Structure 1
Amino acid sequence: MTRRREFNPDSYYHVIMRGNNRQPIFSTKEDMNELKRAFLYTHKRYPFTILAWCFMTNHYHILIKPKEDSLSKIMSMVNRRYSYSYSKRFNHVGRIYQRRFFAKEIASAHGLLVVSSYIHRNPIQTSTPLVTRLAHYPYSSFPYYWNEDLPAPPFLDRSFLSTLMPFPHEKTNASYCQYCLKYRQKVEEDMKTEELETPEM
């Protein structure tokens, strides 16, 4: 019998989903757009808040807090929607994910800053950086923090992380972005630096 995981409804979670055998299941621009659409579709039915996300070619990271429904229900719908789209577009048979999603509760202000920064730095933490500037990576929430004039998806809350910035940092998104750029973060889920192909931009 599979043990049911318990989630704290008042907490944010660092969620990671990987392609089966680390295969690149998000390698094209269309893949990335389909994954984002899966989150938008799910958000309309099971509302949630995301503080940070980054879609890479063989995995994705999100920092998410459910509003009413369970994290399991949210992630099940997102991954099912994307898997259906992927299988239909590529005539793929079989599972595309490595295993059920990984989720770790992030319960402190410092933890939220560290994990969100780690998520945002993913495109430049690969053995060969995917971009020279984080603001240029289009499959991440970082550009929305960098340029507050960009219309953000309805599930992104870009007003909260800046309030957690410690003294002497200013409590602004500009200051948060500099924090992300300046400090290399390491979290327990950081297995190793990966060799990844650059996704279609």
Structure 2
Amino acid sequence: MSRVVATGIPHHITQRGNAQRPVFEDDTDRLVYLRLLGLNCESYDLAIVGYCLMPNHVHLVAIPGRDDSMKLALRHTHGRYATYLNGRQGATGHVWQGRFYSCPLDANHFWAALRYTEMNPVRAGMVADPAVYCWSSAASHCGRAGRSVPLHLTQKVWRDCWSARSWRDFLDASSAAEETLAIRTKTHSGRPLGTADFVDSLERTLRRTLAPERGGRPRKQVADAIQPVLAV
């Protein structure tokens, strides 16, 4: 389905490297990426609430201010970053695989997706504590003095609901397997993740059908299909 964009609503966004190859070789690469992301988010009205840079993919939780905010901010960030990385490596070709995946989130799944994003390095076995990972928003949200990065996080929406202590407790709480599967499945499909009322409201606002039709593959088959694409 064509991309679903709901202005003023949080979205989970992810994009992987082409053929799942690494997109970041070192901290210089990560800083260049975050600088480009920060500049383009400011230019195209995309508010970043949280992020995580993994070796071969990125996760963002963001709120678009315009219908084209995500498209333009990601297009220019990833396009310019690809030019930078290919130039640095003396390479040619695609750095990123296809288009990015995204889905709108209701209030509860907004926080679940942010937790999912910040817990990526823990699930991957890179760190035991998400707050010590330098390349995500977890350190900032947990009140830990981390590396200074050239990306402005939108803090008000987070601070209205959380403190460093309560967020740390939320990160420490185990995510249910169903929650993780729902985030991955909806992000891959592009359909909204939320209650029936939330989906109905978006359908009325956007004037399009967003709920999946009855039938289709069993959930386990869907999970198996998206695992190589969105795992971690």
Determine which of 152, 157, 180 is the counterpart of 1:155. Answer: 152
* Superposed displacement of residue 149, structure 1: 6.1
The residue that corresponds to 1:167 in the other structure is none
What's the RMSD between the two structures over aligned residues? 2.6
Letter in 2 for 1:182: A
Letter in 1 for 2:107: A
The residue that corresponds to 2:12 in the other structure is 14
Instruction: Give CA-to-partner distance per residue, 1:126-158, whole Å, 9 cap, x none.
Output: 1xx111221110000011111266677563123
Residues 37-52 of structure 1 correspond to what in structure 2 (within 5 A)? 37-52=35-50
Letter in 2 for 1:11: I
Identify if the C-alpha distance between structure 1 residues 30 and 153 changes in structure 2 by more than 3 Å, giving closer, same or farther.
closer
Q: Distance in 2 between matches of 1:34 and 1:152?
A: 10
Letter in 1 for 2:8: D
Q: Distance in 1 between matches of 2:181 and 2:114?
A: 10
* Superposed displacement of residue 68, structure 1: 3.7
The residue that corresponds to 1:179 in the other structure is 170
Identify if the C-alpha distance between structure 1 residues 152 and 47 changes in structure 2 by more than 3 Å, giving closer, same or farther.
farther
* Superposed displacement of residue 180, structure 1: 1.0
The residue that corresponds to 1:168 in the other structure is none
Instruction: Give CA-to-partner distance per residue, 1:135-184, whole Å, 9 cap, x none.
Output: 110000011111266677563123323544xxxxxx42320121012223
User: SS of 2:156's equivalent?
Assistant: coil
CA contact (8 A) 2:47 2:62 kept: yes
Residues 26-175 of structure 1 correspond to what in structure 2 (within 5 A)? 26-68=24-66, 70=68, 71-106=70-105, 108-126=106-124, 129-147=125-143, 155-164=152-161, 171-175=162-166
Greater share of residues in helix: 2
Letter in 1 for 2:19: N
CA contact (8 A) 1:162 1:175 kept: no
The residue that corresponds to 1:25 in the other structure is 23
* Superposed displacement of residue 105, structure 1: 0.9
Identify if the C-alpha distance between structure 1 residues 153 and 89 changes in structure 2 by more than 3 Å, giving closer, same or farther.
closer
Which entry has the higher C-alpha Rg, 1 or 2? Answer: 2
Q: Which runs of 5+ in 1 are unaligned?
A: 165-170, 197-201
Instruction: Give CA-to-partner distance per residue, 1:75-122, whole Å, 9 cap, x none.
Output: 11111121111111111101111111111111x211111100000000
Superposition TM-score, scaled by structure 1 size: 0.81
Q: Distance in 2 between matches of 1:113 and 1:6?
A: 19
Identify if the C-alpha distance between structure 1 residues 111 and 16 changes in structure 2 by more than 3 Å, giving closer, same or farther.
same
What count of residue pairs does the alignment treat as equivalent? 185
Identity of aligned residues (%): 20
Superposition TM-score, scaled by structure 2 size: 0.71
* Superposed displacement of residue 195, structure 1: 9.5
* Superposed displacement of residue 123, structure 1: 0.2
Letter in 1 for 2:155: R
